[in-house]
């Protein structure tokens, strides 16, 4: 299950993100894309960058620290011939996005 923490993107960071973004359009609020957690840092995806394999993220910790970071994409894919790629950044904590999806849709025995 994905983290339920959301964060408004401060106006100055939204402007900077639009300047760096390939799409020139950035959401004003983002949800943390990591697996459910309460403590530590949260990461909301702002945009994929024009540079191959990198994305612009809003990183925050509670209400005190917030900033933009450019991070490389996570290279891990799900097992199997049609393995889905992880939609997070390299070296993230917790589960890969495809592991979160499996957990949410699994049926009880």
pLDDT of residue 49: 83
Tens of pLDDT, residue by residue, the chain (109 residues): 889 999 999 999 999 999 888 777 889 999 999 999 888 899 999 998 866 789 999 999 977 789 999 999 999 988 888 888 888 999 998 888 888 654 443 334 3
Considering the entire predicted model, what is its pTM?
0.82
Of 22, 37, 28, the C-alpha closest to 70 is: 22
Whole-Å CA distances, 61 to 13, 64, 66, 96? 15, 6, 7, 20
CA 4 and chain centroid, separation: 12
């Amino acid at each position: 299950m994905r983290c339920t923490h959301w964060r408004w993107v401060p106006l100055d960071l939204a402007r900077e993100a639009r300047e760096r973004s390939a799409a020139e359009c950035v959401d004003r609020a983002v949800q943390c894309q990591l697996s459910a957690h309460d403590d530590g840092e949260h990461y909301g995806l702002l945009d994929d960058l024009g540079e191959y394999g990198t994305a612009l993220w809003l990183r925050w910790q509670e209400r005190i620290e917030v900033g933009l970071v450019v991070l490389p994409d996570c290279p891990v894919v799900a097992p199997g011939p049609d393995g889905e790629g992880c939609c997070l950044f390299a070296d993230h904590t917790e589960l890969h996005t495809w592991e979160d999806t499996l957990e949410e849709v699994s049926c009880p025995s």
